[in-house]
Structure 1
Amino acid sequence: MAKKNLLLTLLLLIIQLAHAQNFSVQELTSGTETNLRGLSVVNDNVIWVSGSNGKVGRSTNAGKNWKWMTINGFEKAEFRDIEAFGPNTAVVMASGEPAYMLKTTDAGETWKIVFHDDRKGMFLDAIDFFTPQYGIAVGDPVNGKIFFAETRDAGDSWKQIHADTVANRPDSGEAFFAASGTNIRYFRNRRFYLVSGGRKSRLFSHNGVRPMPITQGKESAGANSIAVFDRGNMKGSSHFVVVGGDYLQDTLSTGNCFYTKNGGKTWKAPKEPPQGYKSCVEFMDKNELITCGPTGVDISFNGGRTWQKISDQGFHVCRLARFGTAVYLAGSNGRIARLAFP
């Protein structure tokens, strides 16, 4: 029986490796002086990106052509996340102190400040929307409490949510990485899943706080991104995949990825982890996932149990189209790519 199981495992591995060879990463553009960490894919054709030097990019033809813009007055801003709702409307988030969010409804011709906070220590990490109307923003702890804000009017205004009503206070040295805009996922009825890093790395959610076994204990280590397979029911989701590692040791794969199918009660490490530190992970369907980082791109075909590397190109963020099947990636030096698959 043991030999039979071993042969079956090897056969499945060979099939997955052969399948992975059919996937590739096709570069669409590069060379713009910006470090891209924000990426929002509305559909297979409409893509928005954001990054350093106050840059925002937009394509409406699947990345064939790009319109680049520098938002006036924000030439030095770090736009770490962006959420778009069509070819003309997007909300962009500027990390740092002071923190800003801006919105455009005319394809980036003009931008309106919809959020501003200049308190000491203010640093926004990510935004996520359940619908074009309902969104959430998360930031590093201020006065010992996680910063949360929500919008119910498509990002036109934001209201802070008091941290004690949605999550426990973080520990000393625990914060959140503004690496890809995917450390928080927001769903109906204020359900959210948020992963932290630093000296402690945990899963925060509407259900409380749970520990995670991902590498941690240093300011450069911990969870960077969480992917949630949403079944679309009112009971919530239970299948999560979390990636991260230590960005100062980005070639190490130990403790960089874990998955759970019971909402974080227990976690399992992949038998074959993705290679190196990873800053973003995304479900493509129930079993297929993609993850990326500075050392390359990896794919899983079995819910995160095993991973295969498909590219050595480095990227910070990868996102599936909200309405469609296309997957895009973005990273340093204005590099944007599309996942090509059979």
Structure 2
Amino acid sequence: MKRPLIIGVLAVAAASTLAVPASATPDAGAAGHGPTLTWRLSPTGSDARLRGLSAVSAKVAWASGSGGTVLRTTDGGRTWSRTSPPGTETLELRDIEAFDARTAVALSIGPGDQSRIVRTTDGGATWTESFRNAEPTAFYDCLAFFDRRHGLALSDPVDGKFRLLSTDDGGRTWSVVPSDGVPPALDGEFAFAASGQCVSVAGARDAWIATGGGSKARVLHSSDRGRTWAVSDTVLASNASAGVFATAFRDRSRGIAVGGDYAKPDGAVDALGTTRDGGRTWQKPSSAPKGYRSGVTWHPFLHTVAIAVGPTGSDITLDEGRNWRPFDAGSFDTVDCAADGSCWAAGEKGRVATLRLGF
């Protein structure tokens, strides 16, 4: 199928999905509403909770999670191989960033030396540890790459400021970013290691940090690959279990923040915001997902389309986040779309799925 045809079919399907009432069941499209979007589950043979996900293409994807689990498929999810790094059986690999079928960087979370970064260049046959945290008060949550060489990893605050690592060699080595360009953290403020999306990037130099836990849910923005940051309040709720869990930016201006309260996943709290100025100001949508959402991604071809996921379902927007409709009731923690237009989701009990059209 040619790329323009894929775009057209997806646009029709998404439009039909938004026409379905908010109370519709996941297969409502088959009942006369035309084509809809659905997740097609891909049996992984794992029962790990998979909060890390990196979609490379329609054929290749990586997922990571509890028990040091790393999974990889090279055939579109028909089969999965477990390629877990040795010695990580007790660790939570909450984030993974892959560049192709052979190269990936994974992050384990936790206090002290539980926070580690490992890297493979042979499809997971072997792994090299490139960072082990020696700061007892640091707790790394997520990482993101601008390109194959430049990336950032984020820790909760150390000495009152969020701590960052940077790499310029594809994750082979990491160095602590000086904290003088980072604004002070609020009391109780931290990042949520829920989906690998508490730090996100767009283009070659712009990055965003999502926060919660304090009196306000905030987003920090850097336009110089993490050296200096500006901070803004969002419209999302914040408390010890609530805040911004993930951001996704179409470009350096247009972005979406999702979150809510993970302790009340069905609660109708302020759980989503949009920005058109790079995160300086945030607006509430006209309609929003009903409950906590932990992951969000833009579709690479349909520039106004984004998908959000959480434990109570998945939602889609056609208008850059102003209006949302549910299209699946299954539980997922994270979502990612590849450059070729394929979209993947992952979550509890080894659940991984690819986005498909339903008729």
Alignment partner, residue 240 of structure 2: 219
Alignment partner, residue 131 of structure 1: 147
Of 287, 293, 297, 1:272 maps to 287
Q: How many residues align?
A: 322
Displacement after TM superposition at 1:90 (Å): 0.6
User: Where do 4+ consecutive residues of structure 1 move more than 6 Å?
Assistant: none
Amino acid at match of 2:55: V
CA separation in 2, counterparts of 1:40 and 1:197?
24
CA separation in 2, counterparts of 1:43 and 1:78?
25
CA separation in 2, counterparts of 1:17 and 1:188?
33
Secondary structure of the equivalent of 1:43? coil
Q: Does 1:37 align with 2:51?
A: yes
Q: 1:247 to 1:326 in 2, by over 3 A?
A: same
Note if contact 2:271-2:291 (Cα within 8 Å) is conserved in structure 1. yes
Displacement after TM superposition at 1:15 (Å): 7.9
- Identity among equivalent pairs (%): 34
CA separation in 2, counterparts of 1:123 and 1:327?
29
Of 111, 118, 136, 1:102 maps to 118
CA separation in 1, counterparts of 2:194 and 2:131?
21
Task: Give the gaps of 5 or more residues in structure 2.
Answer: 1-14, 21-32, 223-228
CA separation in 2, counterparts of 1:311 and 1:15?
10
Aligned ranges 1:206-285 → 2 under 5 Å: 206=222, 208-216=230-238, 218-230=239-251, 237-284=252-299, 285=302
CA separation in 2, counterparts of 1:301 and 1:189?
26
With 13-22 and 93-102 compared, the bigger mean Cα shift is at 13-22
CA separation in 1, counterparts of 2:166 and 2:160?
19
Amino acid at match of 1:79: L
CA separation in 2, counterparts of 1:317 and 1:76?
21
Secondary structure of the equivalent of 2:19? helix
Displacement after TM superposition at 1:74 (Å): 1.0
Secondary structure of the equivalent of 1:53? helix
Alignment partner, residue 39 of structure 2: 25
CA separation in 2, counterparts of 1:250 and 1:333?
18
Aligned ranges 1:1-342 → 2 under 5 Å: 16-18=18-20, 22-97=36-111, 98=113, 99-165=115-181, 167-188=182-203, 190-199=205-214, 200-206=216-222, 208-216=230-238, 218-230=239-251, 237-284=252-299, 285-321=302-338, 323-341=339-357
Note if contact 2:292-2:310 (Cα within 8 Å) is conserved in structure 1. yes
How much is the aligned-residue C-alpha RMSD, in angstroms? 1.9
CA separation in 2, counterparts of 1:85 and 1:20?
36
CA separation in 2, counterparts of 1:17 and 1:140?
41
* TM-score of the superposed pair, with normalisation by structure 2: 0.86
Note if contact 1:20-1:308 (Cα within 8 Å) is conserved in structure 2. no
